Amino acid sequence: MKKIAVISGASSGIGLSAAAMFYNNGYVVYSLSRAKPEDNRILHIPTDVSNAQSVKDAVEAVITSEGRIDVLVNNAGFGISGPVELTDLSDAKSIFDVNFFGTFLCIKYALPYMRAQGYGHIVCVSSSAAVLPVPYQSFYSCTKSAINAFVLSLANEVRPFGIKVSAVMPGDVKTGFTSNRKKSVSDNENYRAHEQRAINRMEQDEQNGMSPEKVARRIFKAATKKRPRVIYAVGFSYRLFAVLQKILPAGFVNYIEGKIYG
């Protein structure tokens, strides 16, 4: 009997690579996303992860067709950039609605079925920005920090039911995420020059970053390992930075990161 993987935001980028990875390893794979994946092997359920009823209906559709969910990968998300002072409240709420509350909704509606079946793996795509917040990406960094805290708490809640939970933190990845980021370009001369340098550096790093397939391999490992870690960093340099962030003074680490993006 084939196992069932449900992946939010699997229409492109990391999500699509993860969907292909699971499919190639014998899974039936569903994408919960607004756009249809280019890979026709992936079953698509049109879903707005920021809408509770849409997510509930999508999860129930999978259960109706398959009877269970073995793996849930929460990948749907987007980015915004710009100074905190000049960010619209609606944009700040919107990124939390998708990145964080979208993750929460997918888990909320999948958990009853996983709990009833006595097993399941949940993997949430976080970011190195969760532990190394990036200037001019404050709200994106906050959503990913929230996901890490959520995963750490959730893992203890659902462990008695045989459900395993992990967060995977990739660093810079070369995908369409860069071009899809919503930019709040500042016309304020107090921010303009510094903001532009920081965003240019960030986008350059992303376009020279790791492949989405590398992240997909880590997601698959976290989802299929008997005793997965709760938090994974992807890429040697990002694993190193995550360790240094724990042992060096926070102010020093933050200062160095500010210089990198300055």
Q: What share of the chain is helix, strand, coil (3-state, %, to 5)?
A: 55, 15, 30
Nearest to 32 by CA among 72, 80, 68: 72
Environment class of 200 (CB within 10 Å of its CB; exposed 0-12, middle 13-18, buried 19+): exposed
Average of per-residue pLDDT across 127-136: 90
8-state DSSP, 82: S
Average of per-residue pLDDT across 53-74: 98
Length of the chain: 262
Q: The whole model's pTM is what? A: 0.89
Average of per-residue pLDDT across 167-189: 75
Q: pLDDT > 90: what percent of the chain?
A: 68
Mean pLDDT taken over the chain: 90
Nearest to 112 by CA among 120, 101, 102: 120
Instruction: Please tell me the predicted confidence (pLDDT) of residue 203.
Output: 72
Phi then psi for residue 165, to 5 deg, are -130, 135
Quick: pLDDT tens for 204-214: 767 777 899 99
Quick: pLDDT tens for 78-120: 999 889 998 999 999 999 999 999 999 999 999 999 999 999 9
The CA–CA distances, whole Å, from 179 to 30, 84, 115, 134, 184 equal 25, 20, 39, 17, 13
The CA–CA distances, whole Å, from 30 to 66, 106, 189, 216, 223 equal 11, 13, 47, 15, 15
Confidence band for 23, pLDDT divided at 50, 70 and 90: very high
CB 56, CB 109: distance < 8 Å: yes
Higher pLDDT, 177 or 229: 229
Lookup result for tokens 């917040």? 133
Instruction: Please tell me the predicted confidence (pLDDT) of residue 185.
Output: 59
Instruction: Please tell me the predicted confidence (pLDDT) of residue 205.
Output: 66
Contacts with 262 (C-beta within 8 Å, 6 or more apart), sequence order: 194, 197, 198
Lookup result for tokens 């102010």? 251
Quick: pLDDT tens for 218-231: 999 999 999 999 99
Q: Which residues are catalytic?
A: 11, 126, 140, 144
